[in-house]
Amino acid sequence: MATRGGPFGSKNRNGSRQTVPARRGGKSQNQGNRMTHSPTPSTSIPVRSSNMRLHLINPTDKVVVGLDYGTTFTSVSYSIVPINCGNMKGSASDVLNPVERHRNDEDEIFDENLFDLSQGQHPLLLGGADGDTINEPEDSEMEDELSVDFLWGYSVPYQIYKANSTRSQRRLVKRAKLMLVETEYTNADRKGLRSTLTGLLKEGIIRRHGKRSKPEPDMWDAVDPISDYIVKVLQHTKEQLKNLHGFTDQTPVDFVMTVPTVWSPEASRVLQTSVKAAIQATIFGNPWATTADNIFLISEPEAAATFLLESSEDISLGETFIIADCGGGTVDVVTYGVSNRYPLRLQDEKIPPAGDNCGSSYLNDNYKDMLLNRLQDEDYLFKNGDTLESIVNRLIPDFENEYKRRVNVTKRCGHRVYIAGLRGDEQMNRVGLAEKRFEANHLQMNLSDYKEIFHPLLERISKLLEKQIQQAVEKDLVVKKVFLVGGFGGSPSLRSYLKNWLADTSGELKFNIELVADRHKCITAVASGAVLRALDKKNGPERISQSSYGFLRNEPWQPRLYPGHERARPDESELDGEKYVATIDYFMVKGNPIRPDHQFSPFPTYHTFPIDEKKFLCEEVLYVSDTATESHYSRRNLKNADAQIAGRIIVDMTFLRDKGIITPVYPEEGVAGKEHYRVEYELVAKVEGRALRYEARYPAGKDGKVQNKGQFSIAAAFKEGTA
């Protein structure tokens, strides 16, 4: 068999390109990373616990890093353990958090990016510029990089709103994670994101990773914005590990990543690609070996449950409970049962997870809409270029950082909003129904205002829980607890509202449902639980592949042998005169069990080249599909409709001719063709844990030497939590 391009005498290239993990930028006058910082605590954070400094990393240690990439906030946790610890029962007290971001809400980083055209450097230019390639799903275009002033986290709302900045919001990327959540309730957010990504693509600020044939960006085009953000998170984490524990570039690192239950394998691959790029750009662990390709995946609710129940004695085998992950963008609820107590393992109760985009960031939107409405007639405020929009925007950070985190809408609440120049009701002679609750330079907020902001979201969250509980009751399951996690879970308003709602619901159902909500554990539960779960992977799901992987092959056209060839249009080679069909030959097939150390049967491979070809460059392309299970069908066949490029290698076999190892061959008598060279070797693919390694070996057989190789993570090919 021959791979694509070989029989036709081409240079074995197509329009695809390989994308380097750290983007090579154009010339920049400033070789540092120009960032504008918000007046939040510096990255040299105070140590929250004295024992954080007690464990200095030694040569026999490794660091397990848990990354909970959220829609609006991201949390990181880690633990330092012996390299050869195997499966071990971790303790919540051994899991630490490197980020302290707010005096009241710790351990989360605000998830927004702003690309500002300036004389700065792109985050992915900061390190690891010459590493392995990222394996892209489709043809990608390499653009010359513009210098960008990249703002991230809390510097974004400060610069856009608080500092009265002129920075363009057209380049503001927020809730990028929602590009990966293909559900009805994220349609509006994804529409806005596609518009932003289209602009960034046109300006050459980010690269296209999705299909060029699509008229608008798809989830793969979020790779760069997500990577850029995670680069900054990992840089900070790495710096804290150095300062607190003596971390070095030689310290081994295991990464564990959390994903929503509603994600597809493709969405997990997008996040894997983004995280791999960030790991390599920050040179975190051993990014060019196994660190970036052996990532462990765990679902967000299971990670949260692992942490919350790690030391809990009041939950029993078979008990049913609900995890409500209330983040900044989405709220996801899922029902679990306890299938194993030590180590904790959960069982799916066959109740479909539910979600909605009713996270805490939408409180900001409601607050903004309310202020725009209340101030719409105050034209006298619009001076010196100020607009109603800019005035209101400057009020958002105070609401984000202060009021919405402390207010409890089940109790009496309110505050005064300072707005310079605002005229009071008395000054404007407004009385009775005409009053707007304005004082000189102040707008009054009362309980009814806060209910207008909070209640629409709180009611949507309770609706999600109501549906889960109702479905559980229909299956004769008794839900005893609802665990509240996520950044929104720390809100006094949400906790009090759900506690009251569950009390009413319990009365109707005739059994008690307890709300379990620890304000501080809510925030770090997912990332910390991910670390604990990664320390003890035993009793996880069986290693059943959820995806198929295969090589692109140019197979001799044999319609009687292969059903996939029957309707395919073969191409005739100008070199050997044979007819070939470009197909995908799957070696790892969806639905099959895959051992963690499995080597697949080798693929005998040949390429043909014209006599005058200068270089014998053989391209091998690897595809992934989440639906296909049958080989020998054309790449364009409907059976391969969702197939995407997962990786590729270029094998230089010119030495075979230069050393006289091969000589020209001629077509068989009576067959069209001409004198040419034929290069033969074999392709070998093997699974190593959660990584897939593929090699071109010459000569074929056990004595063959590796001529080139590729490797990437296949964690997304298995159910979350698979070792």
DSSP 501-539: HHHHHHHHHTS--EEE--HHHHHHHHHHHHHHHHH--TT
The pLDDT tens digits of the residues spanning 184-207 come to 888 999 999 999 999 988 888 889
The whole-model pTM stands at: 0.81
pLDDT of 62 over the 80 cut: yes
The pLDDT tens digits of the residues spanning 484-507 come to 999 899 899 999 999 999 999 999
The CA distances from residue 472 to 321, 508, 509, 512, in Å, are 10, 15, 12, 14
The CA distances from residue 144 to 4, 274, 577, 620, in Å, are 29, 20, 41, 26
Q: What's the CA gap between 675 and 655, in Å, rounded? A: 19
The CA distances from residue 529 to 13, 296, 328, 428, in Å, are 45, 13, 19, 56
The pLDDT tens digits of the residues spanning 163-187 come to 444 455 677 888 899 999 888 888 9
The identity of residue 314, as a single letter, is D
Of 47-51, 432-436, 511-515, which range is least confident?
Answer: 47-51
* H or E segment to which residue 416 belongs: strand 415-418
Q: Among 448, 469, 413, 19, which residue's Cα sits nearest to residue 206?
A: 19
pLDDT at position 54: 60
Q: How would you class 469 by CB atoms within 10 Å of its CB: exposed for 0-12, middle for 13-18, buried for 19 or more?
A: buried
Mean pLDDT for the stretch of residues 270-292: 86
Q: Among 77, 50, 90, which residue's Cα sits nearest to residue 538?
A: 90
pLDDT at position 281: 92
pLDDT bin (cut points 50, 70, 90) of residue 92 is confident
- What are 177's two structure tokens? 């994670």
- What are 416's two structure tokens? 């005064």
The CA distances from residue 509 to 150, 248, 420, 506, 512, in Å, are 52, 56, 52, 5, 8
Mean pLDDT for the stretch of residues 316-323: 88
Q: Got the DSSP string for 27-77?
A: --S--S---PPPSSPPSSPPPSSGGGGT----TTEEEEEEEEE-SSEEEEE
Mean pLDDT for the stretch of residues 653-668: 95
The mean pLDDT value of the chain amounts to 83
Q: What's the CA gap between 264 and 267, in Å, rounded? A: 5
pLDDT at position 108: 55
pLDDT at position 671: 83
284 and 253 Cβ atoms separated by less than 8 Å: yes
The CA distances from residue 321 to 325, 351, 469, 515, 517, in Å, are 13, 12, 9, 10, 13
pLDDT at position 721: 92
Domains defined for the chain, CATH in brackets: 2-11+542-717 (no CATH), 298-358+454-534 (3.30.420.40), 361-450 (no CATH)
Q: What's the CA gap between 245 and 222, in Å, rounded? A: 34
- What are 521's two structure tokens? 């554990």
HSE-up of 533 (CA within 13 Å, CB side)? 37
pLDDT of 52 over the 60 cut: no
Q: What's the CA gap between 550 and 481, in Å, rounded? A: 45
157 and 97 Cβ atoms separated by less than 8 Å: no
pLDDT of 157 over the 80 cut: no
Mean pLDDT for the stretch of residues 271-295: 85
Look at the chain and count its residues.
723
| Alpha-carbon dihedral sign for residues 115, 120, 123, 125 | positive
> Parallel, antiparallel, or unpaired for β 571-572 and 479-485?
unpaired
Q: What's the CA gap between 701 and 89, in Å, rounded? A: 43
pLDDT at position 169: 66
Q: Got the DSSP string for 535-566?
A: H--TT----B-SSEEEEEEEEE--TTT-GGGT
pLDDT at position 296: 95
Strands (E), 198-312: 253-259, 296-299
The pLDDT tens digits of the residues spanning 543-580 come to 999 999 999 999 999 999 999 999 999 999 999 999 99
- What are 115's two structure tokens? 């690309």
Q: Among 346, 177, 146, which residue's Cα sits nearest to residue 260?
A: 177
Q: Please state the φ and ψ torsions of residue 444, each to the nearest 5 degrees.
A: -85, 135
pLDDT at position 447: 95
Mean pLDDT for the stretch of residues 218-242: 93
Q: Got the DSSP string for 427-452?
A: TTT--GGG---EETTEEEE-HHHHHH
pLDDT bin (cut points 50, 70, 90) of residue 90 is confident
**DSSP symbol at 110:** E
Q: Between 272 and 107, name the one with better pLDDT.
A: 272
Q: Between 714 and 88, name the one with better pLDDT.
A: 714
Q: What's the CA gap between 521 and 74, in Å, rounded? A: 14
Mean pLDDT for the stretch of residues 216-238: 93
Of 54-58, 130-134, 200-204, 274-278, which range is least confident?
Answer: 130-134
The CA distances from residue 427 to 381, 422, 441, 598, in Å, are 15, 10, 11, 80
- Find which of 26-30, 214-218, 251-255 is predicted with most confidence, using mean pLDDT: 251-255
Mean pLDDT for the stretch of residues 201-215: 85
